[in-house]
Copies of this chain bind each other. A is one copy, B any other.
Amino acid sequence: MRISDLGEFGLIKRLKDILGSTSIGDDCAHVRLGEYNLLLTTDLMLEGVHFLRRYPPESVGWKSLSVNVSDVVGNGGEPRWALVSLMLPDMEVSYVERLYIGIKRACEFYGCDVVGGNVAKSDRLGIDLFLVGTSDRPVGRRGAKPGDSLFVSGTLGDSRAGLELLLMEREDYEDFELALIERHLRPTARIDYVKHIQKYANASMDISDGLVADAGHLSERSGVRIDIDSSRLPLSKELIRFCEKYEKDPKDYALYGGEDYQLLFTHPRERWNPFMDMSEIGEVSEGKGVFVDGKPAEGGYRHF
Contact = CB atoms under 8 A, between A and B. Distances in A.
Interface of A: 1-6, 8, 11-12, 14-15, 18-21, 23-24, 26, 28-29, 31, 33-36, 38, 40-44, 46, 49-50, 80-81, 83, 85, 87-88, 90-94, 96-97, 100-101, 103-104, 107, 113-124, 126, 128, 130, 132, 134
Given A1-B92, A24-B114, A83-B130, 19 more contacts: A1-B94, A2-B93, A3-B90, A3-B92, A15-B96, A18-B104, A19-B104, A19-B113, A19-B114, A21-B114, A21-B115, A31-B80, A31-B132, A40-B132, A44-B87, A49-B120, A49-B121, A49-B122, A87-B126
Nearest to A45: B120
Contact of A2 (B40, B92, B103): B92
Nearest to A113: B21
Contacts of A18: 97, 100-101, 104
Given A24-B116, A96-B11, A2 B128 contact: no
Contact of A116 (B1, B6, B29, B119): B29
Given A18-B101, A124-B124, A85 B1 contact: no
Contacts of A124: 122-124
Top 10 nearest A-B pairs (CB, nearest first) are A29-B116, A29-B115, A130-B130, A18-B100, A128-B128, A44-B120, A4-B90, A42-B83, A42-B85, A1-B93
Contacts of A88: 3
Contacts of A117: 24, 42
Contacts of A44: 85, 87, 118, 120, 128
Contacts of A1: 92-94
A100 B46 contact: no
A115 B24 CA distance: 6
B100 A15 contact: yes
A117 to B, nearest CB: 6
A33 B40 CA distance: 14
A20 B21 CA distance: 38
Contact of A119 (B11, B87, B101, B114): B11
A14 B130 contact: no
A101 B19 CA distance: 8
A299 to B, nearest CB: 23
Contacts of A36: 33-34, 36
Contacts of A6: 93
